[in-house]
Amino acid sequence: MNIFSSLFFALPDRPLLSAYHGSYRKQAIEVVHLSGRLDDAAKVIAEYWADGPRSATPPGHWNVIAQEISRRDGHSIDDDVKMLFILGNALMDAAIAVWDCKRVADSIRPVSAIRFLFAGKPIRAWAGPGMGTQLIDERLWRGSVKALYRQRQLR
Protein backbone atom coordinates (compact mmCIF):
# COMPACT_ATOMS: atom_id res chain seq x y z
CA MET A 1 0.00 0.00 0.00
CA ASN A 2 1.32 3.45 -0.87
CA ILE A 3 0.49 6.39 1.33
CA PHE A 4 1.13 9.74 -0.28
CA SER A 5 -0.47 12.02 2.29
CA SER A 6 -1.08 12.26 6.01
CA LEU A 7 -4.76 12.66 5.04
CA PHE A 8 -4.83 8.85 4.89
CA PHE A 9 -4.70 8.99 8.72
CA ALA A 10 -6.83 12.14 9.12
CA LEU A 11 -9.07 12.50 12.12
CA PRO A 12 -12.79 12.44 11.44
CA ASP A 13 -14.56 15.76 11.81
CA ARG A 14 -15.45 16.32 15.41
CA PRO A 15 -16.90 19.19 17.36
CA LEU A 16 -14.53 21.40 19.31
CA LEU A 17 -14.96 20.81 23.01
CA SER A 18 -14.97 23.62 25.50
CA ALA A 19 -13.91 23.08 29.08
CA TYR A 20 -17.56 22.95 30.11
CA HIS A 21 -18.71 20.49 27.45
CA GLY A 22 -19.88 17.15 28.87
CA SER A 23 -17.54 15.10 26.64
CA TYR A 24 -14.52 17.14 27.71
CA ARG A 25 -15.27 16.59 31.39
CA LYS A 26 -16.09 12.91 30.79
CA GLN A 27 -12.74 12.31 29.06
CA ALA A 28 -10.78 14.03 31.86
CA ILE A 29 -12.58 11.93 34.48
CA GLU A 30 -11.82 8.79 32.47
CA VAL A 31 -8.09 9.65 32.45
CA VAL A 32 -8.10 10.11 36.23
CA HIS A 33 -9.96 6.80 36.70
CA LEU A 34 -7.50 5.00 34.43
CA SER A 35 -4.62 6.39 36.47
CA GLY A 36 -6.27 5.19 39.64
CA ARG A 37 -6.68 1.65 38.28
CA LEU A 38 -3.15 1.10 37.02
CA ASP A 39 -1.62 -2.11 38.31
CA ASP A 40 2.07 -2.93 38.48
CA ALA A 41 2.08 -4.64 35.06
CA ALA A 42 0.46 -1.62 33.36
CA LYS A 43 2.92 0.73 35.08
CA VAL A 44 5.88 -1.32 33.86
CA ILE A 45 4.53 -1.32 30.30
CA ALA A 46 3.88 2.43 30.38
CA GLU A 47 7.33 3.10 31.79
CA TYR A 48 9.00 0.94 29.15
CA TRP A 49 7.29 2.65 26.21
CA ALA A 50 7.35 6.19 27.61
CA ASP A 51 11.07 6.25 28.24
CA GLY A 52 12.84 9.13 29.83
CA PRO A 53 16.20 10.82 29.77
CA ARG A 54 19.02 8.87 28.10
CA SER A 55 16.72 6.38 26.42
CA ALA A 56 16.02 5.12 22.92
CA THR A 57 12.68 7.04 22.86
CA PRO A 58 9.46 5.17 22.05
CA PRO A 59 10.10 4.92 18.28
CA GLY A 60 13.67 3.94 19.04
CA HIS A 61 12.42 0.89 20.87
CA TRP A 62 11.44 -0.58 17.51
CA ASN A 63 15.03 -0.16 16.33
CA VAL A 64 16.30 -1.90 19.47
CA ILE A 65 13.82 -4.74 18.82
CA ALA A 66 15.00 -4.91 15.18
CA GLN A 67 18.62 -5.17 16.35
CA GLU A 68 17.66 -8.05 18.63
CA ILE A 69 15.90 -9.80 15.72
CA SER A 70 18.97 -9.27 13.55
CA ARG A 71 21.24 -10.88 16.14
CA ARG A 72 18.79 -13.71 16.80
CA ASP A 73 18.31 -14.50 13.09
CA GLY A 74 21.92 -13.92 12.02
CA HIS A 75 21.13 -11.20 9.49
CA SER A 76 23.65 -10.09 6.91
CA ILE A 77 24.34 -6.38 6.44
CA ASP A 78 22.03 -6.45 3.39
CA ASP A 79 19.22 -7.95 5.50
CA ASP A 80 19.72 -5.27 8.14
CA VAL A 81 19.76 -2.43 5.62
CA LYS A 82 16.43 -3.60 4.18
CA MET A 83 14.82 -4.19 7.56
CA LEU A 84 16.00 -0.92 9.13
CA PHE A 85 15.15 1.10 5.99
CA ILE A 86 11.59 -0.21 5.99
CA LEU A 87 11.25 0.20 9.76
CA GLY A 88 12.69 3.73 9.70
CA ASN A 89 10.29 4.78 6.96
CA ALA A 90 7.33 3.24 8.77
CA LEU A 91 8.30 5.13 11.94
CA MET A 92 8.67 8.36 9.98
CA ASP A 93 5.24 7.89 8.37
CA ALA A 94 3.72 7.21 11.78
CA ALA A 95 5.35 10.32 13.24
CA ILE A 96 4.07 12.50 10.40
CA ALA A 97 0.54 11.13 10.81
CA VAL A 98 0.57 11.57 14.59
CA TRP A 99 1.92 15.11 14.48
CA ASP A 100 -0.63 16.02 11.81
CA CYS A 101 -3.42 14.67 14.03
CA LYS A 102 -1.99 16.62 16.97
CA ARG A 103 -1.88 19.80 14.89
CA VAL A 104 -5.42 19.34 13.56
CA ALA A 105 -6.90 18.41 16.94
CA ASP A 106 -5.11 21.27 18.74
CA SER A 107 -6.40 19.83 21.97
CA ILE A 108 -5.47 20.44 25.57
CA ARG A 109 -3.17 17.94 27.27
CA PRO A 110 -4.76 15.69 29.91
CA VAL A 111 -2.64 17.13 32.73
CA SER A 112 -3.86 20.66 31.99
CA ALA A 113 -7.49 19.56 31.64
CA ILE A 114 -7.41 17.68 34.94
CA ARG A 115 -5.82 20.55 36.82
CA PHE A 116 -8.40 22.97 35.39
CA LEU A 117 -11.47 20.81 35.96
CA PHE A 118 -10.48 19.57 39.42
CA ALA A 119 -8.85 22.77 40.75
CA GLY A 120 -8.66 22.63 44.53
CA LYS A 121 -10.29 19.20 44.75
CA PRO A 122 -8.65 15.93 45.73
CA ILE A 123 -8.72 13.16 43.12
CA ARG A 124 -8.17 9.43 43.53
CA ALA A 125 -5.26 8.50 41.30
CA TRP A 126 -2.01 6.61 41.23
CA ALA A 127 0.27 8.45 43.65
CA GLY A 128 3.62 7.07 42.47
CA PRO A 129 5.88 4.03 42.81
CA GLY A 130 5.18 2.07 45.97
CA MET A 131 2.39 4.45 47.03
CA GLY A 132 -0.55 2.88 45.18
CA THR A 133 -3.81 4.73 44.64
CA GLN A 134 -4.52 7.60 47.00
CA LEU A 135 -6.49 10.82 47.24
CA ILE A 136 -4.06 13.44 45.98
CA ASP A 137 -4.22 17.15 45.27
CA GLU A 138 -5.00 17.71 41.59
CA ARG A 139 -1.82 19.82 41.30
CA LEU A 140 0.23 16.70 42.07
CA TRP A 141 -1.42 14.57 39.37
CA ARG A 142 1.07 13.84 36.64
CA GLY A 143 -0.18 10.59 35.20
CA SER A 144 1.75 7.40 35.80
CA VAL A 145 4.78 8.10 33.65
CA LYS A 146 5.63 11.60 34.87
CA ALA A 147 5.23 10.43 38.47
CA LEU A 148 7.77 7.68 37.80
CA TYR A 149 10.32 10.18 36.48
CA ARG A 150 9.77 12.58 39.34
CA GLN A 151 10.20 9.77 41.86
CA ARG A 152 13.48 8.77 40.20
CA GLN A 153 14.75 12.34 40.26
CA LEU A 154 14.11 12.57 44.01
CA ARG A 155 16.28 9.49 44.69
Is residue 128 assigned to a domain?
A: yes
Local confidence band at 52 (pLDDT 50, 70, 90 cut-offs): low
> Percent of the chain at pLDDT above 70?
68
CA-to-CA distance for 34 and 144, rounded, in angstroms? 10
pLDDT (0 to 100) of residue 106: 65
Q: How many domains does the chain have?
A: 1
Is residue 5 assigned to a domain?
A: no
Is residue 7 assigned to a domain?
A: no
Residue 75 has phi, psi (to 5 degrees) of -60, 150
Is residue 11 assigned to a domain?
A: no
Does the pLDDT value for residue 85 go beyond 90? yes
Is residue 10 assigned to a domain?
A: no
Nearest to 149 by CA among 47, 75, 18, 4: 47
What does each C-alpha distance from 32 to 126, 137, 146 come to in angstroms? 9, 12, 14
Is residue 6 assigned to a domain?
A: no
Nearest to 114 by CA among 126, 105, 123: 123
pLDDT (0 to 100) of residue 77: 97
pLDDT in tens, 100-122: 777 776 667 777 888 888 888 88
pLDDT, average across residues 95-102? 80
Is residue 51 assigned to a domain?
A: yes
Is residue 75 assigned to a domain?
A: yes
For residue 145, the enclosing domain spans 19-154
pLDDT (0 to 100) of residue 144: 54
pLDDT (0 to 100) of residue 12: 63
> Which tops the pLDDT comparison, 115 or 43?
115
